Structure 1
Amino acid sequence: MNSPAATDEPAGPIPGAQPQGPGGGDRGDSDADWAAAARATLAADDAALAARFDRNDDIDALVAARTRAVDALVRAAWSRCIPPGAPLALFAVGGYGRGELFPQSDLDLLVLAATDAQAAHHDAIARLFALLWDAGLPAGHAVRSPAQCTQASAGDITVLTALSEARPLQADAAAVASLDEAIAPRQVWPPRDYFIAKREEQRARHARFDDTSDNLEPNLKEGPGGLRDVQTLRWMALRVLGARGLEPLVALGQLGADEHATIERERRALSRLRYGLHLVAGKREERLRFDHQKTLAARLGHVDNADNLAVEQMMQGFYRSAALVLRINERLLQRFEEQLEGEATPEPLQPGYESRRGYLHATGPAWPGGIDDVFALFAAWAAHPRLRGLHSQTARALAESLPRLPDHCSCDTATRGRFMALLRGTQPVDTLARMARLGVLGRWIPAFARVSGRMQFDLFHVYTVDQHTLAVLRNIAGFASGQPDPRFAIAHEVWPRLRKPELLLLAGLFHDIAKGRGGDHSELGAVDARAFCLAHGLSEGDVALVEWLVRQHLLMSVTAQKQDIGDPGVIHRFATRVADRERLDLLYLLTCADIAGTSPKLWNAWKDRLLADLYTATRLALRRGLEHPPAAAERIAETRAAAQALLLGEGIAAAEIDALFARMPATGFLRGRADAIAWQALALRGVDSRGTAVHARPLPQHAGALEVFVLSPDRDGLFAAIVATLDRLGLAIQQARLLDGPEDNVFDSFEVLPADGQRVVAAGEVERRLQAALANADLDGIRPARRTQPRHLRHFRLVPQVGFDLSGDGRRTVLSLVSTDRPGLLADVTAVLRRQRLRVHDARIATFGERAEDVFQISDERDLPLADPQQQALRDALLACLEGDSSR
C-alpha cells in the first residue's frame, strides 16, 4: 500500500474544504456552484503547472503537484458528500494511487466498505462521483468490500494490479490493513502466477505494436519501451519481492545502481514527453501522433538545424529512451524469473560460456576483458541458436563495458578480423541485430550510433534508420535461406550466384548510414563504407564493389519506377552504369531488400515485377555486350516471336495471328511484354475496327492487383474518363501505357492495386464499369470521386512542382509533377488535363510514401507539343488543383 501523498497546498483555494455539519449537511452553496468553483481551481492549478513545465521544472515534481491538487479536491468532495463517521474508506488506485497524474490522466478511486454500508450510503457515494465528474474529474470508480476486492482480483489481474498501488485518501489504519489482507499473495495471485501472467500480458501488449517502439506514431504509455514497461517492473517487484518501487532492488542485488539510474532517467524523459503531449493535445492522448509531434517538439525547446528537424530530434530521444527501457526490462524480468524458479544447474557450452536456464552466460569473473571477448560472446551465441537470449548478469556486464569498448579505427587487424568472421559465420544478420540492440554495433561503427533512433519525418520511411537497416539485413537473410519467398520473384535464383555474400551485408549496413548529416547520404555513406572495408582488410576490388553499391543503391529503384524499362535505350543506359553481372546481382538484391524494408506497404507485386523485368533485360544486355545495343527492329522481332508462340499454343492459326498483330501498334512490340501482347491480341478477336473492348485479369503475387486493357476509338477525354472510373472503383493506378493503334484506336493498359490495400475488386466488375463509362457520349461527365484526405497526409504537405520538357523525338511535351500523394490525385490531375483540352499519350506513376512523382507525355488537340502560353496555363491550373483543395 502506498503511503499518503505529501500535504503541500495546491495552487488555488479548495472549494468546500470546511467540515460538514451533522449528518453530512452541505454549506450554503449548491453542488453546481461547488463543482464550478472546483473546476476553476483545477484549471488554475493546471495552468500554473503548464507554465512550470514550460520553464523546464522537474517532471516528477510537476506530476506530484498535480496529484496533490487533485487529492485536495477529491477529499473536499468526500467531506461534502459523505457523512462524518460513515464506515467508508476512500483510496486512490492505479496510476492515481501511484501518485502519477498527468494533465489528462484518468482518475481511479476505490470506496472500501462492507456490503451493508454500501447499501446504506449508496446515494451519498453516487453523489460523490457525480460531483467529481461535474468538477472536471471524471473518475473511474469501484465500490467493494474487502471480500469483493479479493473476488474481483482473483478474476482479473488488472484489478489486483490497480489495487496493489492503492493510496489512502480517507481511510484509517484498519481499512488499510483490511485491503492489504484482501489482496495478499496468500489470498490471490501468488508471486509465481502473477509474474507469469504479467509477463505474458506484456508480450501480448508488445505484439499489438509489432514488437517495436520504432513506429512513426509510437504510444508513450503502452508501446514497447514505454512507461507501462517501467510500471510492469514496479508491479513485479512488489509482488515477487515485496519491494515498493525499483530503488530497493539495488540493495537486494536485483538491480545495479547504474541500471536503476538509467531506467529512472529514461522514465523521466518519457514522463516529460507524456506530460507535454497531454498539454498540446488538450485531451487524453498517449500516441505521439503526427498531429502533435511538431507542436510538442517546439514546446520542448527543440529547434530545426541543418541536419535534423526539431521533430526528428525529439523522436530520436524517444526511440533511444524506449530502447534502454526495453534492455533493462528484459534483464530484470529474467532476474525475477530466477528469483522464483531458483538457480538452474549451468550447462557448459564451450570454454568460457555456459547456458543458465537457456540464457548465454560468460563464466569469466572479469568478463569482458575487451572487445575480443565481446566478439567471442556473439560467436558463441551464433553457434547455439537454441539459446533464449543473453543472461542478465552478462547483459549487465556488457552494458557497463560499452563506454570502454573501442571503435574499429582503434583496433588491430586481428580484432577487425574477428568482426569479419562474425559477418561470414552462421546467422550473421541475427548477430548484427543483437549487436545493434545491445549497443555494441554503435560502439564498433560510430556512424551507426548516430543514426540509431533517428527517424525521418515523412511517410516513406516508417522505421528509424537503424531499424530500417536491420530490416534490410533481415530481408537479405531471407534471400540466403534458399527458400523461395512469394514476395520476390527471382531473388532465390540470384542469391546462389553471389561470390561473397558478406559484401551485400556490408552494403546493406552502410547504405543509409550517412542519413542526417546533410549532403547526399549515398555519397557520404560510400566514403564511410570504403574506409571501413579497407580497414577490415578487403581487397581493392571488393572495397570498390561495396562502395559502388552504397553510392548507387537508389539507381535501380529510380530507373524501374520513373523510367520506361520497355524502352531499349533506358535498358542500355542502365546496363552501361551497372557494367557487369556481379554488380547487377548485388544491386538487384539490395534494391529489393531496401524497398521491402522501408515500409510494409511499399513493396508489392508491381514493384517486384518491375525490378525483375529490369534485372532480366539488363542481364540480357550485358550478355549481348554493351557495345551492341539492341536495335528497335530486333527487339520488336523478339517480342513478336514470343507472343506468336503463346498464341499458337492457344490454337490460333498463324495467318490470324498476323492479322491481329497488324491491327496493333508497333510500339507495343518494342516496349511491351510478350504475354501482354498475346493477351491483347486475344481481346481483338471479334472486335471490329471501330469497336470497344475492355479486359481485366489478375496479376500474380498480390491480392487485388489487376492488369486492365482498354481498346477504343480515340476521342478526347478518354484517358480522364478511364482514370476517374478506376478511381471510383477504389483502384490506384501504378502504371499506365497509352499507345495509338494503326486504325485510329487507342491501346491503353493499366496496372492497378486496391487504393486502401484491402478491398479487392473483381476483374469482371472492372470490365463492366469501364464498358458502361465508355458507352457515354459525353465523357466529360465522368468525374473523380470526392474523398476526405487521410489524417496523416495533412502533416506532410509538399510544395507542388510542375515541370515541362520536350520528348526525345520532339513530338510531345513531357509533364513532370511532384506533389503530396492523396486518394484521387491522378484522377484530379487527368481532369485538369481534360479541362485544358490536352491529350495524354503515356504516363509513369510513382509514389514514395506521401510523395507522388508522376510523368506524362501530352500534346494539344492537334497532337503538337504545348507552346509556352499553354504550359503556363496548365501549370496554373495544376497548382490551383493541388494547393486549393486541402479537404481532398
Structure 2
Amino acid sequence: MAVPRSGVSTEARHALRQLLGDVDRDLATAFRDGADATALARRRAEAVQRIVVHAWTACLGEVEGAALFAVGGFGRGLLFPYSDVDLLVLAERADAARLRALEQYFTTLWDVGLKVGHAVREPAQCRALAAAEASVFTSLLDARRLAGDPALDARLRATVEDPALWPPAAYLAARLAERDARHARFNDSAYNLEPNLKDGPGGLRTLDSLRWLGRRLAHAPDFDAMVAEGLLDPAERDTLARAEATLHRYRFALHLEARRPEERLLFDYQRGLAARLGFEDEHEKNLGVEQFMQGYYRAASQVERLGVQMVERFEEMLEPPAAAQPVGADFLRFGARLAARDPDLFVRRPAALVEAFIARLDEPGIVGFTADTMRRIHQATALHDGALAGDPAVLAAFLRLLRRGAPAVDALWRMNRHGLLAAVIPAFGRVFGRMQYDLFHVYTVDEHTMRVLRNVARFADAEAREAFPLACDIWPTLPTPEVLLLAALFHDIAKGRGGDHSVLGEEEARAFCMRLGLPENDAERVAWLVRWHLLMSTTAQRQDITDPEVVERFAGAVQNRERLGQLYLLTIADIIGTSPKLWNGWKDRLLADLYSATRYALRSDVEPARDAAARVRECQRLALPMLAAEGFAEAAARRLWADFPDASFLRHRPEQIAWQTAAILRAGGATPLVAVHPFSVRGATELFVYTPDRDGLFANITAMLDRLRFSVLEARVLGAANGMALDTFLLLEADGQQPATPARAEELQQRLARALAQPGPVHPTRRSLSRQLRHFQMTPQIGFHPAGSRTQLALVCADHPGLLAAVAQALVDAGVRVHDARIATFGERVEDFFLLSDRHDAPLDAARQERLRRALLLRIGQGRG
C-alpha cells in the first residue's frame, strides 16, 4: 500500500474553490444564454470529477485496496448547480492511517465548497447491505469508479451483476413498493400545486427507476437499449427524452433561483422561474407562470403515464406464457392481458381503439393490454392524428362507452392515460397540464376533470351511500347517465382561453354532442350543465337559501327535476374534485337543503310561496313539541317569542328555534348567554349568543372566534324587541375544517362567555401570513348593493389570519351594524357578503359607504390581506 500523501495545501484549496466558483458562474451564464441544461449538468459533473480526483490523489495517492466511486446523480454523470456530490469508498481494510487520510480528504472537499454525501465500506459489508436493502443495491447500479484500485471496481461489478442478488421479480416488487411509498408522501399525484421535480410522481426519480428496471430485468440500461429490446418504441423514447429535457431545464433553473438544492417548485420561486425561462403573460386567464407550470405538468404526466405502461410491460415479461382465448371478433386474451387479433386492427379500423377499452371493461380479470397492443394503440393514435375526432365510427363507439354509465369512467381514465381521450376530444388536449395559479384549484384541469368523473361514478356505488345518501338516491333515477358524464368532461374544458370558461365550454360541449350524434334534447342538457355548473354552489354559498325568493329564482333557472338532480351530482363531484379539503358537513347540508327546497318548488301542484306570517306560525308550531319534550311550557316560549323578530323564524329551522329558546329559558335571565351545539342540523358547530345588544358586539365575537381558531361560515345577527341580541354563527375548526369536538365546544362556550362579560373590546390575535398566502395577495374589491331596507356589502379579497375579525372592526369604525353574513373562502380568495345598516337601521348612504370603504382598506390592507 502506498503511503498517504500530505493532503491539499491551503493555497491549493483556495485555488480549487476559485475554480469551482468560476465553473458555476460560467454554467449559469451559459444557461441564461440558452444552453442545454443536461449538457451543462454533465459539464459540472466533469469539473467536479476533476476536483475530487485531484484531492483523492493529494490525500491518498495511488492507493491499493481502496477505490473511490461516484454514486447517485454524480454516478450518472449529472450534477445540477447545488446537487449533492455522492461518493462511495470501498476499502479492503479501514486501518487508522487510511481513516485519517479519508477524513482529511472529505474535509478538503467540504472546504472547497462541495456538499458531499459519502459512505466508507468494506466490499463484504457493501454486498451484505445491498442484499438486505434494494435501495442500497440500486445505488450501486449507478456507481462509477473515479480513482483507486481497479480490482475493487471488478468486485463491485460482480455484486451488481450477481443474478442471485435481487432477482428480477423481487427487484420489481421492491421498486414498486418504494415508488408507492414515495408517491404517498406527495399525495400520490403529479398535479400538486408545489410539485417535487425529483421525487414526485412523474419526476426525475421515475425516469431513473425505469432505467434501473431496464438494466436489472432486461439488460437494457437506457432508453435506446429498451427500444432495441422492444420495451419502448421510438416515439415513446422520444417523448421520454423531451420530458426529461424539460425536467432537467426546470431543475437547473430552480437551483439557480433558490440558490440551494431545492427540488420543489414552491410558490416562492414559480413566478421568478417563469420570468427566468422567458414565459410571459398572454392575458389574465393564461399567465406566464401558468404556462411555465403547464410545461412541468405535461412533462411529468407524460413520464408518469409511460412509466406506468413500462411497469406493465416489465410485469408481462415476468409472467409465464398464457394460451390465447378469444374475446369477441377482434381481441384475444393472454392470461390477464388483452391483445388485438390483427396487428393492423387499429390502423385499419380506428373505432377499434375505443372498442379495445370497452372490451377491457367487459372482460373480467383483465389488468391491462399486452406490451405490443399498448404500442400499437399509441402508434395508431399518432397516425390518425386529428382524424379520430371527426370519425363517425369512432364517435359512435365513444357514445356506446358513455352509455355504460359509471363503469365507463374507468375506461375514460385509461383512455386519458394512453392519450386517446385527447385525440377523440381535441379540446381536452388543450387543458392537458393546464394549471390555475391559485390555492383553490389544487390539480391541473385534466386531472381535476378525471377526479370529477371518478366522483360521479362513486354515486353508483352502494358503498358510497353512507357518505352521499342523497346523491346515491338520485343516480339511479337519471335516464341518461351519459349526459352527466359528458357535462363532467366538458365543464372546465375552456379554462385558460380568456373569457368566461362556462360560456366557451357550453359552445364546445354543444358542438361535440352534435358530432357525437346525441339526441338534441340530451345535447342541450349537457350544454346547460356546462354553462351553469357553478350555479348551485354559488347560490348555496352566497345567498340565503332559507329565503323563498332565492329558491324560486334558482328553481326558475333549473326548470325541471331531472336537470336539478344532474346539477346536484355535478356540483358535489366538482367541489370534491377541486380539493378534498373543500368538502365538509356544512356544504353537504347546504346543498342538500337547496336541492330539497328546489325539488319542492318544482312540483307542478305546489302552492305559491306562503306569506311571511304563515311561515312564522308554521315554524313556531313545529318548535313547540320539541320544547314540550324538554319540559318547557308553551306559554313561556310564546312570551319569549313575542320579542323575537320575524326573521328569527323565517331564517332558522324549527330545531334551531327550539334549541335557542330552551337555552334562554334554562338560563333564567342570566346574560351573556353563550350556547354551543357541537354538530348542529346544519352540518357545522352552531354558536348562539343572547346578550344585551351593543355596538361592537359582532366584532368582539369574531375576534374571540379568531383567537380560538374557528372559521365562520355563516352569521345571523338579529335584534329582539327587548334590546337583546340574537346572534347565530355556524363554525368549523380553522385547522381541519371539521365541527368542534365536545371538549372544544365547551372551551368555546366558557371563554366567549367570559370575554363578553367584560366591558372592553376583544382584540384578535395577530398572526403572520403563511408562506403560501404571501404569494397570493390582492387589492380588496368592495361593492355595495341595495337590499330592501338594508345594504349588501360584497367583499372579495385575499385571505389571511384574522380577516373576519378585522372586517368586523372596520364595521365598528364606520358606525355600521351587521344583520347577516355569509362567508366563503376559495383557496386564497375570500368572497364575503354582509347585510348592513347604519345605527338607525337604515340603508347606508353614499357617505357611510365611502367611510366603510376607507375603514376596510385601512383594516385589511391594500393587498397585504
Q: Same fold (TM over 0.5)?
A: yes
Q: Find the residue that maps to 1:404 and give its secondary structure.
A: helix
- Greater shift after overlay, 827-836 or 694-703? 694-703
Distance 1:834 1:695 in 2: 24
Match of 1:790 among 762, 770, 785: 770
- How far is the alpha carbon of 1:225 from its aligned partner? 1.2
Q: Aligned pair in 2 of structure 1 residues 712, 405: CA closer, same or farther (>3 Å)?
A: farther
Counterpart in the other structure of 1:14:
none
Distance 2:309 2:672 in 1: 68
- How far is the alpha carbon of 1:442 from its aligned partner? 0.6
Q: Find the residue that maps to 1:425 and give its secondary structure.
A: coil
Q: Find the residue that maps to 1:247 and give its secondary structure.
A: helix
Q: Find the residue that maps to 2:796 and give its secondary structure.
A: strand
Counterpart in the other structure of 1:131:
108
1:248 paired with 2:225, answer yes
Q: Aligned pair in 2 of structure 1 residues 743, 673: CA closer, same or farther (>3 Å)?
A: same
Distance 1:493 1:601 in 2: 24
Counterpart in the other structure of 1:856:
834
1:513 paired with 2:493, answer yes
- How far is the alpha carbon of 1:487 from its aligned partner? 4.2
Q: Aligned pair in 2 of structure 1 residues 347, 221: CA closer, same or farther (>3 Å)?
A: farther
1:766 paired with 2:748, answer yes
Q: RMSD of aligned C-alpha atoms?
A: 2.3
Distance 2:589 2:257 in 1: 45
The answer to whether the Cα contact below 8 Å between 1:451 and 1:513 also exists between their aligned partners in 2 is yes
- How far is the alpha carbon of 1:569 from its aligned partner? 1.7
Query: Aligned letter for 2:577?
Result: G
Counterpart in the other structure of 1:17:
none
Counterpart in the other structure of 1:362:
340
- How far is the alpha carbon of 1:54 from its aligned partner? 1.5
Distance 2:152 2:76 in 1: 18
Q: Find the residue that maps to 1:594 and give its secondary structure.
A: helix
Query: Aligned letter for 1:229?
Result: T
Counterpart in the other structure of 1:585:
565
Counterpart in the other structure of 1:233:
210
- How far is the alpha carbon of 1:444 from its aligned partner? 0.8
Distance 2:477 2:642 in 1: 42
Counterpart in the other structure of 1:552:
532
1:636 paired with 2:616, answer yes
Q: Find the residue that maps to 1:121 and give its secondary structure.
A: helix
Distance 1:89 1:131 in 2: 17
The percent identity for this pair of structures is: 47
1:497 paired with 2:474, answer no
The answer to whether the Cα contact below 8 Å between 2:60 and 2:102 also exists between their aligned partners in 1 is yes
Q: Aligned pair in 2 of structure 1 residues 397, 414: CA closer, same or farther (>3 Å)?
A: closer
Distance 2:387 2:317 in 1: 39
The answer to whether the Cα contact below 8 Å between 1:346 and 1:356 also exists between their aligned partners in 2 is yes
Distance 1:768 1:708 in 2: 12
Match of 2:444 among 459, 464, 468: 464
The answer to whether the Cα contact below 8 Å between 1:480 and 1:495 also exists between their aligned partners in 2 is yes
Counterpart in the other structure of 2:5:
24
The answer to whether the Cα contact below 8 Å between 1:690 and 1:713 also exists between their aligned partners in 2 is no
Q: Aligned pair in 2 of structure 1 residues 523, 26: CA closer, same or farther (>3 Å)?
A: closer
1:835 paired with 2:804, answer no
Query: Aligned letter for 1:262?
Result: T
Distance 2:315 2:614 in 1: 71
Distance 1:836 1:666 in 2: 27
Counterpart in the other structure of 2:368:
389
Q: Find the residue that maps to 2:322 and give its secondary structure.
A: coil
Match of 1:756 among 735, 743, 760: 735
Q: What are the superposed Cα offsets for residues 82-107 of structure 1, whole Å, 9 maximum, x if unpaired?
A: 24445421111111111111111111
Counterpart in the other structure of 2:377:
398
Q: Aligned pair in 2 of structure 1 residues 494, 634: CA closer, same or farther (>3 Å)?
A: farther
- Greater shift after overlay, 267-276 or 484-493? 484-493
Match of 2:234 among 235, 257, 268: 257
Distance 1:540 1:195 in 2: 51
- How far is the alpha carbon of 1:880 from its aligned partner? 2.5
Q: Aligned pair in 2 of structure 1 residues 831, 39: CA closer, same or farther (>3 Å)?
A: farther
- Mapping 1:160-179, distance limit 5 Å: 160-179=137-156
- How far is the alpha carbon of 1:208 from its aligned partner? 2.7
The answer to whether the Cα contact below 8 Å between 1:361 and 1:390 also exists between their aligned partners in 2 is yes
Query: Aligned letter for 2:130?
Result: S
Query: Aligned letter for 1:293?
Result: Q
Query: Aligned letter for 1:871?
Result: Q
Counterpart in the other structure of 1:453:
433
Q: Aligned pair in 2 of structure 1 residues 196, 885: CA closer, same or farther (>3 Å)?
A: same
Counterpart in the other structure of 2:187:
210
Counterpart in the other structure of 2:588:
608
Q: Aligned pair in 2 of structure 1 residues 391, 203: CA closer, same or farther (>3 Å)?
A: farther
Distance 1:879 1:98 in 2: 55
The answer to whether the Cα contact below 8 Å between 2:440 and 2:578 also exists between their aligned partners in 1 is yes
- Which runs of 5 or more structure 1 residues have no equivalent in the other structure? 1-20
Match of 1:286 among 263, 279, 283: 263
Counterpart in the other structure of 1:543:
523
The answer to whether the Cα contact below 8 Å between 2:778 and 2:862 also exists between their aligned partners in 1 is no
Query: Aligned letter for 1:570?
Result: V
Match of 1:718 among 697, 705, 715: 697
1:775 paired with 2:775, answer no
- How far is the alpha carbon of 1:209 from its aligned partner? 2.5
Q: Aligned pair in 2 of structure 1 residues 783, 329: CA closer, same or farther (>3 Å)?
A: same
Query: Aligned letter for 1:379?
Result: I
Counterpart in the other structure of 1:105:
83
Q: Aligned pair in 2 of structure 1 residues 342, 95: CA closer, same or farther (>3 Å)?
A: farther
Counterpart in the other structure of 1:5:
none
Q: Find the residue that maps to 2:800 and give its secondary structure.
A: coil
Q: What are the superposed Cα offsets for residues 568-601 of structure 1, whole Å, 9 maximum, x if unpaired?
A: 2212222222222222122111111111111111
Q: Aligned pair in 2 of structure 1 residues 592, 243: CA closer, same or farther (>3 Å)?
A: closer
Counterpart in the other structure of 2:272:
295
Q: Find the residue that maps to 1:140 and give its secondary structure.
A: strand
The answer to whether the Cα contact below 8 Å between 1:213 and 1:224 also exists between their aligned partners in 2 is yes
Q: Find the residue that maps to 1:237 and give its secondary structure.
A: helix
- How far is the alpha carbon of 1:525 from its aligned partner? 0.9
Distance 1:86 1:431 in 2: 60
Q: What are the superposed Cα offsets for residues 488-523 of structure 1, whole Å, 9 maximum, x if unpaired?
A: 452222223322222111111111111111111111
The answer to whether the Cα contact below 8 Å between 1:406 and 1:444 also exists between their aligned partners in 2 is no
- Greater shift after overlay, 578-587 or 631-640? 631-640
Match of 1:667 among 647, 666, 669: 647
Q: Aligned pair in 2 of structure 1 residues 252, 532: CA closer, same or farther (>3 Å)?
A: closer
Distance 1:575 1:230 in 2: 53
Q: Aligned pair in 2 of structure 1 residues 137, 344: CA closer, same or farther (>3 Å)?
A: farther
Q: What are the superposed Cα offsets for residues 765-806 of structure 1, whole Å, 9 maximum, x if unpaired?
A: 11111111111022x1x1111112111111111221122233
Query: Aligned letter for 1:142?
Result: A
Counterpart in the other structure of 2:395:
416
Q: Aligned pair in 2 of structure 1 residues 497, 408: CA closer, same or farther (>3 Å)?
A: farther
Q: Aligned pair in 2 of structure 1 residues 846, 153: CA closer, same or farther (>3 Å)?
A: same
- Mapping 1:178-193, distance limit 5 Å: 178-186=155-163, 188-193=165-170
Q: Aligned pair in 2 of structure 1 residues 143, 691: CA closer, same or farther (>3 Å)?
A: closer
Match of 2:708 among 724, 729, 733: 729
What number of residue pairs does the alignment pair up?
858
The answer to whether the Cα contact below 8 Å between 2:810 and 2:856 also exists between their aligned partners in 1 is yes
- How far is the alpha carbon of 1:220 from its aligned partner? 1.0
Q: Aligned pair in 2 of structure 1 residues 642, 51: CA closer, same or farther (>3 Å)?
A: same
Query: Aligned letter for 1:733?
Result: V
Q: What are the superposed Cα offsets for residues 519-565 of structure 1, whole Å, 9 maximum, x if unpaired?
A: 11111111111112222223332222222111111111111111111
Match of 1:196 among 149, 173, 182: 173
Counterpart in the other structure of 1:11:
none
The answer to whether the Cα contact below 8 Å between 2:564 and 2:595 also exists between their aligned partners in 1 is yes
1:59 paired with 2:37, answer yes
Distance 1:47 1:514 in 2: 43
Q: Find the residue that maps to 2:714 and give its secondary structure.
A: strand
Distance 1:264 1:275 in 2: 16
Q: Aligned pair in 2 of structure 1 residues 637, 532: CA closer, same or farther (>3 Å)?
A: farther
- Which runs of 5 or more structure 2 residues have no equivalent in the other structure? none
The answer to whether the Cα contact below 8 Å between 1:489 and 1:612 also exists between their aligned partners in 2 is no
- How far is the alpha carbon of 1:62 from its aligned partner? 0.6
